[in-house]
Amino acid sequence: MLKIENMTGGYGEVDILKGIDLTLEAGEILTVAGTNGAGKSTLAKAVVGLLPRVGGRVLLSGEDITKVPAERRARTGIGYVPQTANVFSSLTIVENLEVVEGVKDRKARMAEMFDLFPALAGRRRSRAGSLSGGERQQLAFARALMTKPPVIVLDEPTAALSPIMADESFSRIKALAGTGTAVLLIEQRARQALEISHRGAIMDGGKVALEGEARTLLADERAAELYLGVGH
Ligand SMILES: Nc1ncnc2c1ncn2[C@@H]1O[C@H](COP(=O)(O)OP(=O)(O)OP(=O)(O)O)[C@@H](O)[C@H]1O
């Protein structure tokens, strides 16, 4: 579904990404974990088309989309929920969903989103600016799902959430993958993320330091010691 080949790039002249190869199948969750500054968010931006300078290739269903602008990627295939939820604060929840472009059968899709995010359903006429951080994150997630993208990139979706809300978020992500969506999941809560993932990649210094089946990484002592933290 998604193939990243020898991806390099950064914000200026310096390469933050130093040759990343990753693949993601339909219905698969791939957790990308790693130390602060390893380049996880930069990788997410490169995949969705928001990094100023990118080398290598990104293929979506076999099609080279490396040069496709971010807006078109968003409309046709790759949903993105950035670290800081991008919602329109002055618009209501419903309006935030109404303004997403490229949505087929909008009414039915909005109903599905309210089923998936009951907390939003109860506040549909509230302005996004009045929502809690967690609710805003859910709204950003719902906005990204409106077009039914085959691939979704989530940049630390649980960062602003309480442990209970994070659990809910992980369940939702798992259910989403169960419907066939491919999920690239960047997470600080690496252990929990790997527990719902099929595969994992651990980044260090702009490269993939370790990659494999999620359960293998969870059992890997070196991964645990260096990257997954004790007690997480
Ligand atoms: N907008 C930017 N302009 C210039 N450099 C940036 C920008 N954003 C990030 N960087 C740099 O790129 C490197 C990788 O940052 P990135 O945010 O991708 O790491 P990360 O693995 O997501 O870390 P974290 O877990 O802290 O979010 C860091 O050295 C950072 O300073």
56 pLDDT band, cuts 50/70/90, is: very high
How far, in Å, CA of 146 to CA of 106, rounded? 8
Identify the pLDDT of residue 86. Answer: 80
Model confidence, pTM: 0.93
> Is 170 a residue whose pLDDT tops 90?
yes
From 8, 42, 155, give the residue whose CB has the most ligand 1 atoms within 8 Å, as the site to mutate: 42
Q: Hey, which residues does 202 pair with through a beta bridge?
A: 33, 210
Give residue 117 CA to ligand 1 midpoint distance, Å. Answer: 30
Tokens of 222: 């070196």
* Mean pLDDT of the region 162-179: 92
Q: Convert the pLDDT of each residue in 60-116 to its tens digit.
A: 999 999 999 998 888 879 999 998 878 999 999 999 999 998 898 999 999 999 999
DSSP element (H, E) containing 138? helix 133-145
* Strand residue runs (E) in 63-170: 63-64, 78-81, 151-155
Q: Which among 141, 148, 203 is positioned nearest to 172, based on CA atoms? A: 141
CA angle, residues 155, 182, 75, in degrees to nearest 5: 75
- Among 78-87, 148-157, 178-187, which stretch is predicted with the lowest mean pLDDT? 78-87
For residue 180, is it left (φ>0), alpha (ψ between -120 and 50) or beta?
left
Neighbours of 2 (CB within 10 A): 23
- Domains of the chain, first to last: 2-228 (3.40.50.300)
Please list every protein residue whose CB sits less than 6 Å from any atom of ligand 1.
11, 16, 34, 36-42
Give residue 206 CA to ligand 1 midpoint distance, Å. Answer: 10
Contact 138, 120 (CB under 8 A): yes
Q: Which residue, judged by its Cα, is nearest atom 8 of ligand 1?
A: 42
232 pLDDT band, cuts 50/70/90, is: very low
